Structure 1
Amino acid sequence: MAEKLLEIQNLKQHFPSSKGTVKAVDGITFDIYKGETLGLVGESGCGKSTTGRSIIRLYNATDGKVLYEGNDVHDKKSRSELLQFNRKMQMIFQDPYASLNPRMTVGDIIAEGIDIHGLAKNRKDRMERVYSLLNTVGLNREHANRYPHEFSGGQRQRIGIARALAVEPEFIIADEPISALDVSIQAQVVNLLKKLQRERGLTYLFIAHDLSMVKYISDRIAVMYFGKIVELATSEELYRNPIHPYTKALLSAIPLPDPDFERKRVRQSYDVTVHDYTNETPSLQEVADGHFVYCSESELIQYQKDYYKS
């Protein structure tokens, strides 16, 4: 059995608004195991990025727990505790244009974490670390003296990856790291992430809305809808046997490189009224081994019948 690295327990992230409370993340529970990639997918506004930002403490959680190696992330208060936590967990942001300081050289951007954590013995060691990181992500040492505006989107995202790697983390949250990139560049960045995972034993939470790319990189996939995890299974299992109607609708929208098939295909829509939770409270339940679905008790019985009949 793989070792649990991260445990999310009933995590809630609510924000006040003029119309009441926005429940961006509304009581989600899941685990991430050491060395795996968990893909988190769903439509824009479903709470994916808020989940990532709450895990890494960019937001203070409204309720629930985030346990990293058994320790509650949101209980850490002292500077030394926060520094130690920040070394273990890093984030790659969605927008490679906005996430890099335009007034800093690439070398200083990458070395920022090295400086904060005092990882370099001297200036020479600092720059050698920067050069090594640039090489790791497919850039070269001459790029250290340049500024972000001199690079393409794909190169900027590589700089963001190098910055995240600089403090030698164990866990990385990749928040839609390829959505702002050209399709031709997306595969390169994903392949780089997979290579780094193999070489460094990294664990990823990979947040995205591109289901085909998520399947390629993820060991397991969690599907999110309006602040809830509605389905969680291995990548192959989720694509082969989707159970929740929302997951089925998402998968039916993935285009295939077959014009004849695409012309005839009927895409499914998701109607939330198919669920009657008037007398039953839904929760994330295990329909099959390792395959969880957000459902009521009566839905669970029906889902299991359908699953084992197929």
Structure 2
Amino acid sequence: MKEKLIEVKGLKQYFNIGSPNEVRAVDDVSFDIYKGETLGLVGESGCGKSTTGRTIIRLYDATDGEVLFKGEDVHGKKSKKALKEFNRKMQMIFQDPYASLNPRMKVADIIAEGIDIHGLAKSKKERMEKVYKLLETVGLNREHANRYPHEFSGGQRQRLGIARALAVEPDFIIADEPISALDVSIQAQVVNLMQQLQKEKGLTYLFIAHDLSMVKYISDRIGVMYFGKLVELAPSSVLYQKPLHPYTQSLLSAIPLPDPDYERNRVRKTYDPAVHNYAAGEEVKMREVAPGHWVYCSEKEFQQHKATY
């Protein structure tokens, strides 16, 4: 039996509640993340995937629903000490390596911020040793410790962001589009580094992205979001071979392949939400069509999926 590290149950994150421009950024989303795995979360811009990640880690207070980390409610009332311990076990790597590092701080102080807050070094010497080791772990060197963020390239800054997240020895890392601001050649290096660290340190990732080819490469399972809803969840190989929800099919049909013949004849599938004009009172929810393969559908669609699976 795999151990559940994160359980998300009926999570909702609404903005401007009650006003005409109310936004249901995350609308009744549920999934689990198992210890040691990478769950990919994909969807177009504005679908709610980053908001989901930020709500899990308490950057936003949830409107409704539960997030359990090792069985404990993340959004429940916590003492300062419990909150500090939770913050240490869950870390985030942000999308923009330019905006997420304080330009006035030296690299050593950026990386050691968490070490200082959580008292993880007994002396200044131990603190610097930890910083040097972290820099080397992410493929940089100790000479970089005395520089400022503006002296680094985008890929190097993202490595600094990873080092900062690792400094407090977390169990779970939310990577919010960590490669979308980087050159393609650098993207692969950062993803390979994350996979290597996962093996070495037994980390669990929620990897948020919109690049489906990269998500397939790094993820064990993939969840697809559309307009605040989770519409499909399956092991990554299954999702690519047997996409069931029309939106997932549309996303996958848009992936370019380095094959001119294929590209000339590629048929793009467009997704039209109107195909799902459900009757009033018809229950639409996540249903398990095959072991581990969940789709957001009505009972009628569910039976059709099962018949053709």
* Letter of the structure 2 residue corresponding to residue 22 of structure 1: V
* 1:146-165, Cα deviation, whole Å (9 max, x unpaired): 00000000000000000000
Q: What one-letter code is carried by the residue in structure 2 that aligns with 1:300?
A: F
> Aligned pair 1:51/2:52, yes or no?
yes
Report the counterpart of residue 22 of structure 1 in structure 2.
Answer: 23
The answer to whether residue 271 in structure 2 is matched with residue 259 in structure 1 is no
Counterpart residue number, 2:298? 296
Report the alpha carbon displacement of residue 19 of structure 1 after superposing the two structures with TM: 3.5
CA distance in 1, matches of 2:146, 2:284: 55
- Counterpart Cα distance in 2 of 1:188 and 1:108: 25
1:291 counterpart letter in structure 2 = H
Distance in 2 (alpha carbons) for counterparts of 1:130 and 1:91: 18
Letter in 1 for 2:304: Q
1:89 corresponds to which letter in structure 2? M
- 2:236 and 2:77 mapped to 1: Cα distance? 33
| 1:35 corresponding residue in structure 2 | 36
Unaligned ranges ≥5, structure 2: none
- 1:5 corresponds in structure 2 to 5
Tell me the number of residue pairs that the alignment of Structure 1 and Structure 2 aligns: 307
Give the AA of the match of 2:290.
A
SS in 2 for 1:134: helix
CA distance in 2, matches of 1:260, 1:236: 24
Structure 1 counterpart SS, 2:75: helix
Indicate the residue corresponding to 2:274 in structure 1: 273
* Shift of residue 259, structure 1, vs aligned partner: 1.2
Q: For 2:285, which of 283, 286, 289 is the aligned residue?
A: 283
Query: Following the alignment from structure 1 to structure 2, what is the Cα–Cα distance between the partners of residues 269 and 306?
Result: 22
- Deviations, residues 89-144 of structure 1 (Å, cap 9, x unaligned): 00000000000000000000000000000100010000000000000000000000
Q: Which amino acid aligns with 2:303?
A: I
Aligned mates of 2:268, 2:152 — CA distance in 1 = 39
Q: CA deviation at 1:20?
A: 2.6
Deviation at 1:76, TM superposition (A): 3.8
**Which amino acid letter does the alignment assign opposite residue 272 of structure 2?**
D
Deviates more, 1:269-278 or 1:83-92: 269-278
Question: Aligned runs of 1:118-267 on 2, under 5 Å?
Answer: 118-267=119-268
Deviates more, 1:13-22 or 1:187-196: 13-22
Give the distance between the partners of 1:258 and 1:129, measured in 2 at CA. Answer: 46
Cα deviation for residue 304 of structure 1 reads 1.1
Q: Distance in 2 between matches of 1:19 and 1:179?
A: 33
Q: Aligned equivalents of 2:78 and 2:202: distance in 1?
A: 28
Q: Match of 1:109, as an amino acid?
A: I
Percent identical among aligned pairs is: 76
TM-score (norm 2): 0.98
Q: Say whether residues 1:115 and 2:138 are aligned partners.
A: no
User: 2 CA distance for matches of 1:14 and 1:154?
Assistant: 34
Within 2, Cα distance between the matches of 1:16 and 1:251? 33
How far 1:250 moved relative to its partner? 0.2
Compute the displacement of 1:46 (Å): 0.1
Q: Which amino acid aligns with 2:99?
A: A
Q: TM-score, normalization: structure 1?
A: 0.98
How far did 1:278 drift? 2.0
2: CA distance between counterparts of 1:198 and 1:36?
Answer: 10
1:191 Cα deviation from its structure 2 partner:
0.1
In 2: Cα distance, 1:220 partner to 1:121 partner: 40
> 1:78 offset after TM fit, Å?
1.7
The range that moved more, 78-87 or 160-169, is 78-87
| Structure 1 stretches of 4+ moved >4 Å | none
- Residue 11 of structure 1 and its aligned partner are, at CA, apart by 0.1
Look up the SS of the partner of 1:206 in the other structure: strand
Q: CA deviation at 1:185?
A: 0.2
